[in-house]
Amino acid sequence: MTAHRIEVSLGDRSYPVLVGRGVGSRIDEFVPAGAKRAVVVTDPTIPFTVSTSLPSMVSPVVGGEDHKTLSTIETLCREFARFGLTRSDVVIAVGGGLVTDVAGFAASVWHRGTAVIHVPTTLLGMVDAAIGGKTAVNVPEGKNLVGAFWQPRAVLADLDALDTLPQRELRCGLGEVAKYHFIAGDDLLSVPLDARITRCAEIKARIVEGDERESGQRALLNYGHTLAHALESAGSHDLAHGEAVAIGILFAAELARTLDRIDDARVTLHHRVVRDEYGLATDEQLASAASNEIPTLIDFMRRDKKATDGLTFVLDGSRGLEVVPNVDPVDVQTALESFFARGVGRQIG
Ligand SMILES: NC(=O)c1ccc[n+]([C@@H]2O[C@H](COP(=O)([O-])OP(=O)(O)OC[C@H]3O[C@@H](n4cnc5c(N)ncnc54)[C@H](O)[C@@H]3O)[C@@H](O)[C@H]2O)c1
Ligand SMILES: [Zn+2]
C-alpha cells in the first residue's frame, strides 16, 4: 500500500502528514538538516517503536491523564539536558494524544523551541491530536490549560500501529472520526477505513490551515463536544471521551432538529453513522448519560471553557456545521429531555 501524503500549509511552519502502513520507518526523511541527536518520547507499554540513524535515547512517559502534567514536562526537559539535546536536534513523539501533547509541549519550550516529529499510534492521534500543533498539559484546575501552539516537522501516521490498539481505544478514535462525517459533508461511509483516516487527517489539515490558532472555524472540531465535556465533568467516568463525543454528536443533531435547522432525514444520517456504522452510543451508554440530572449537565455546558457567549454548540444546518452561540437554555432542556426520554433520541426511518 502506498502512503498518502497530505500537506499542512502554514508558510514556514508547513509540514506533511503521511498515512499508510510502514510510514513510521521514514523518520530520517523528516529530521531537520543539522540535527545530530534525537530523543524518542514514548510510553514504553505501547507495542510500536521507530528507529532513526541519529544517536538517540528513549525518554519514557507514563500513560494516563494523571501524568499529563507540568512535572512530566520538567522530567522530560531534564532528560533532554542530560542527553545533550540542542536546539538544532529533534524530539520524536511515539504514542497517542497524551504522548504527542506532552512531547510537543516539551519540544516547544526546550531551548525556546526544538523540532518535533509526531508518530501517532492511536486512531485519535492520527485523525486529530497529532495534527495542528496544539500541545498541552493539565493542572488540577482544568484539562489542557497550559500549553503552546507548536507545529511538528511531520506527522507519520503508521497504520501498522492500529493492529495492536485495544478495541475501546479504537472506539474512542471512531467517536472523533464520526464528527468528520459532518464537518466536511462528504460521504465517508463509501470508502474503506484507511481512506477514511486519510480523509479525516486531510479535513483536519484544511481546518488548521484556515485557523491555526483557533479563533474561528477550528472550533468546528468540537462537534459533539459540548455535551461530551459536560458528561465527562458530571462524572460519567464509565464513558471514555470518544464514547461521550458520540453521544454528544447525536444530541447535537437532536438540538439542531429542535431548532428547525435540520430535517428528520439528517437526524437519521447521524444515527446511521454513529450507531450503525461505528457501534457507538449504545443503549447502555445512553442510559449512563441519561442518569445525569439535566440541570447539572446544562450548568456544566455553560461553564465549558470554549463557551464565551452563553450556551454554545456546533450545530448542523443548511450551510453545514456552524458555531451557534447563545442557544436558549429552554431549547437545550427540551432537546435533552426528548433525547434521554427516547433513549436514542429521534430515530426515524
Ligand atoms: N492536541 C490536540 O489537538 C488534541 C486533540 C484531541 C485530543 N488530545 C489529547 O489526546 C489525549 C488522548 O489521546 P488518545 O486517545 O490517543 O489516548 P492516549 O494517548 O492516552 O492512549 C490511550 C491508550 O492507548 C495505548 N496505546 C497507544 N497506542 C497504542 C498502540 N498502538 N497499541 C496498543 N496500545 C496503544 C496507550 O498506552 C494508552 O493506554 C488526551 O490527553 C487529549 O487531551 C489532543
Ligand atoms: Zn475530542
CATH number at residue 109: 3.40.50.1970
Asked if residue 54 belongs to a domain, the reply is yes
How many angstroms separate the CA atoms of 97 and 61, rounded? 12
Q: pLDDT for 120-147, tens place per residue?
A: 999 999 999 999 999 999 999 888 999 9
Q: pLDDT for 28-74, tens place per residue?
A: 999 999 999 999 999 999 999 999 999 999 999 999 999 999 999 99
Q: pLDDT for 109-123, tens place per residue?
A: 999 999 999 999 999
Same domain, 120 and 13: yes
The b-or-e profile of 304-326 (16+ CB within 10 A means b, else e) is: beebeeebbbbbbeeeebbbbee
- Joined together, the cell numbers standing for residue 230 give 459536560
**∠150-152-155 over CA atoms, to 5°?**
145
CATH number at residue 316: 1.20.1090.10
Instruction: Just list the catalytic residues.
Output: 112, 134, 176, 204, 214, 218, 222, 225, 229, 241
Residue 228 pLDDT: 95
Query: Which of 98, 105, 179, 239, when mutated, tests ligand 1's pocket best, judged by the most ligand atoms within 8 Å of its CB?
Result: 98
Same domain, 104 and 225: no
The total number of structural domains in the chain stands at: 2
Asked if residue 195 belongs to a domain, the reply is no
Minimum CA distance residue for ligand 1 atom 9: 97
Ligand 1 — pocket residues by CB below 6 A? 43, 45-48, 63, 65, 68, 95-99, 101, 121-122, 124-125, 128-129, 132, 134, 144, 161, 164-166, 169, 172
Question: How many angstroms separate the first and last alpha carbons of the chain?
Answer: 38
Same domain, 24 and 97: yes
Asked if residue 348 belongs to a domain, the reply is no
Asked if residue 171 belongs to a domain, the reply is no
* Rg, the chain, Cα only: 20
| Residue 56 neighbours by CB under 8 Å, 6+ apart | 37, 38, 39, 40, 92
Give the residue among 212, 208, 249, 209 at the shortest CA–CA distance from 228.
249
Q: Could you list the beta-strand ranges (E) of 285-339.
A: 313-315, 322-324
Asked if residue 92 belongs to a domain, the reply is yes
Asked if residue 187 belongs to a domain, the reply is no
Residue 142, beta-bridge partner list: 139
Residue 305 pLDDT: 62
- Joined together, the cell numbers standing for residue 123 give 486512531
For the segment 254-278, the average pLDDT, to the nearest whole number, is 96
How many angstroms separate the CA atoms of 219 and 305, rounded? 12
Asked if residue 322 belongs to a domain, the reply is yes
Same domain, 39 and 157: yes
List the domain range (segments joined by +) for residue 282.
215-341
Q: Using CB atoms within 10 A of its CB, is residue 45 exposed (0-12), middle (13-18) or buried (19+)?
A: exposed
Q: pLDDT for 174-222, tens place per residue?
A: 999 999 999 988 889 899 988 999 999 999 999 999 999 998 899 999 9
Asked if residue 106 belongs to a domain, the reply is yes
Residue 306 pLDDT > 90: no
Residue 334 pLDDT: 96
Residue 348 pLDDT: 46
